[in-house]
Amino acid sequence: MKQAGGVSRYTENLSLTPQIIVLDTGGQYCHLIARKVRELGVYAEVRAPETPAAALKAVRGIIISGGPASVYEENSPSVDPALFSMSVPVLGICYGQHLMAHLLGGRVQKGDQGEYGLAYLDVIAPKGPLRGISGKQRVWMSHRDTTVAVPPGFEVLAQTSTCPVAAMGDERRKLFGLQFHPEVAHTQPGGRVLANFLFDICGCVEDWDPRQRIPAIEEQIRQAAAGRKVFFFVSGGVDSTVAFDLCLRALGPERVHGAYVDTGLMREGETELVRTNFAKLGARNFRIVDASAEFLTSLAGVVEPEVKRQIIGEHFVAIQEQILQSGHYTDSDWVLGQGTIYPDTIESGGTAKADKIKTHHNRVAGIQKLIESGRIVEPLSQFYKDEVREIGRQLEIPEEMLSRHPFPGPALAIRCLCSREETPVRRAHDGYLLPVRSVGVQGDSRTYRAAFALPYLPSDWQLPTELINRHSEINRVVAVVATHTPVGGLRSFAATITEERLERLRRVDAAVQRLSQASGFDRTIWQFPVILLPVGTLDRPDSVVLRPVDSVDGMTAEAVRMPDALLEHICRELLETEGVSTVFYDLTHKPPATIEWE
């Protein structure tokens, strides 16, 4: 987009004034809303919910995010009621709709059952944000509370089979509420809904393109470094690679050093791949540090996922300090660089009112100390994965580096599930409750619940969501797709992270990735985690979970069914692996389950 004389509006002013403010009431998708608004070409920023209305009079529109609280509870997040009497349009999403209804005279109460994941919206009145949208639409829900009576002046715009007020609006005052989440990739009309609000209702103009932010990012790097050198501990993934390259461009190769810590928890061939890729970037000061023995020792006997993440994070910081000190990097002329992106801080409860879903390896206490002391540079902390890839393409980083599937910082440790005791699988709900638990996200809150196994692969992939909505003790549904032993004869075993189990996980993961890549399936999905469960029989004590998902940014994800021929090939090879009893297929979207099991 060019102005007269060929000057881009995107670079004319590197410090933009937001047209849209998103008020953060604690939703896991709060920053995703701002990101989706930016994707539509409109600059948006996030503010605290208690921001006074007087401070928001100059913006073109306000969006109130979702959140884990209930509006009828004491001390639940709220907003300045004066927002609703200004001339600025307001859109409430999920908890934001509840808050709007509650403050303006409607009624909100706990629903008979929650809605988590896919739902089908019936549009009653195609007005306001729903203008031009009709019939039945696929949307994404994550709520237990529901609006049962709209405020005076509002009308119901849409509903679902279990939600009587899935959208409401007062066109005269330009106040609208949505129970569903238009910001997530899997809400079919989400882009149209947000565009209607931004351009038709708020009158916004396009002023944002993340690719044009590179000069501003580089300037921010120079300001944060303040003449100092930057030392990176890279993972080899997209985020740390792009962040490292940005620092190389901003500061020059002599001021940017890097190290890759081999934790012993890496995938097969990962370390050599990282060595090769960073040589391609032109990194002159880069080395590999083998710390596998220390990490495995620190994780001995650990079972709980949050404890695993905390140990890995804190131990990683300890090794960082050792390396920094041994290389004389602890002097005041050095700072730490990281490839942190938005989801890393959001799911860790990084927004003021958010519920912590899981601790990310770069948001544990040791890293927080570095942040507080000003010894950190995070060039990508305001961007999402798809934006990071676009920035990388603009930097001309090789596509094979940018297209890699995301891989978690704690690596195979959180894909190698552990257990304290031997417990049999239990029959329940026309299937089986597995004696293992996994992390989920339901109603913007963390859950840690049992996984439910169907003895067959269903044709209706909406069934898992329906089961989870009906049964509060589960947050994940898998299907048995191949087994040496009938699922009713399986049991969990006391198991922790060991060299033997990690090597088993590496073998099955490598087989799955190889077959997925050979078939081209890997290019149709966003990520393909492979999980090892301590569930099986005495001679085959572990099982494997296949978890292919489609996503845009990891904030939401849809379980994907692979071609039958590929699934048969994968199952045949995995069941030939020593120690593997059963192959499960994870059918659960996010929400209600997280992408990773831990």
Backbone angles phi, psi at 43, to 5 degrees: -75, 130
**What is the 3-state secondary structure of 529-590?**
CEEEECEECCCCCEEEEECCEECCCCCCEEECCCCHHHHHHHHHHHHCCCCEEEEEEECCCE
* pLDDT band of 579, cuts 50, 70, 90: very high
The terminus-to-terminus CA distance of the chain in angstroms comes to 43
Mean pLDDT for 141-155 is 93
Residue identified by tokens 């499960």 is 584
Omega before residue 592 within 30° of 0, cis: yes
Residue 360 designated active-site: no
Grade residue 47 by pLDDT with cuts at 50, 70 and 90: very high
pLDDT of residue 317: 81
Q: Is 94 a catalytic residue?
A: yes
Q: Is 126 exposed, middle or buried (0-12, 13-18, 19+ CB in 10 A)?
A: middle
- Residue type for 293, please? A
Please give the residue that has the higher pLDDT: either 400 or 537. Answer: 537
Residue 69 burial (CB < 10 Å; 0-12/13-18/19+)?
buried
108 neighbors 71 (Cβ within 8 angstroms):
yes
Nearest-angstrom CA–CA distance, 339 and 344: 10
Out of 31, 181, 257, 360, which one is annotated catalytic? 181
Q: Which of 30, 31, 39, 94 is catalytic?
A: 94
Q: Evaluate if residue 128 carries a pLDDT over 60.
A: yes
How many CB atoms within 10 Å of residue 583?
26
**Does the pLDDT of residue 143 top 90, yes or no?**
no
Mean pLDDT of the 277-281 span: 92
How do residues 235-268 score in pLDDT, each as one tens digit?
888 999 999 999 999 999 999 999 999 999 999 9
Q: Which residue has the higher pLDDT, 157 or 207?
A: 157
**Measured CA distances, 182 to 88, 122, 140, 360, 506 (Å):** 20, 15, 8, 26, 38
User: Which residues have C-beta within 8 Å of that of residue 262, sequence separation ≥ 6?
Assistant: 271, 288, 289, 290, 291, 292
Give catalytic status of residue 183 as yes or no.
yes
Q: Do β-strands 491-492 and 535-536 pair in parallel, antiparallel, or remain unpaired?
A: antiparallel
DSSP per-residue codes, 305-346: HHHHHHHHHHHHHHHHHHHHHHTTTTSTTEEEE----HHHHH
Taking the C-alpha atoms of residue 541 and residue 178, their distance in angstroms, rounded to an integer, is 47
pLDDT score for 231: 92
**Contact of 585 with 479, CB cutoff 8 Å:** yes
pTM for this structure? 0.70
In percent, how much of the chain has pLDDT > 70? 92
Q: What is the pLDDT of residues 169-189, one digit of tens each?
A: 999 999 999 999 999 888 999
What are the φ/ψ torsions at residue 39 (nearest 5 degrees)? -60, -30
Dihedral angle computed from the Cα positions of residues 388, 394, 398 and 403, in that order, rounded to the nearest 10 degrees: 30
CA distance 41 to 250: 26
Which whole number is the average pLDDT over 420-447? 90
pLDDT band at 304 (very low <50, low <70, confident <90, very high): very high
Among residues 183, 270, 347, 596, the one annotated as catalytic is: 183
Q: What domains are there in the chain, each with its CATH number?
A: 4-201 (3.40.50.880), 210-409 (3.40.50.620), 415-586 (3.30.300.10)
- φ, ψ of residue 151 to 5 degrees: the values are -70, 165
Distances in Å between the Cα of 118 and the Cα atoms of 438, 443, 579 are: 20, 13, 36
Residue 171, C-beta contacts closer than 8 angstroms, at least 6 positions apart: 127, 128
Residue 443: per-residue pLDDT: 67
CA 22 vs. chain centroid, Å, equals 19
Rounded to the nearest integer, the mean pLDDT of the chain is 89
Q: What is the DSSP letter of 592?
A: T
For 329-368, the pLDDT digits (tens) are 767 888 889 998 866 655 444 455 656 655 554 544 555 6
Query: How far is 449 from 15, CA to CA, in rounded Å?
Result: 45
pLDDT score at 367? 57
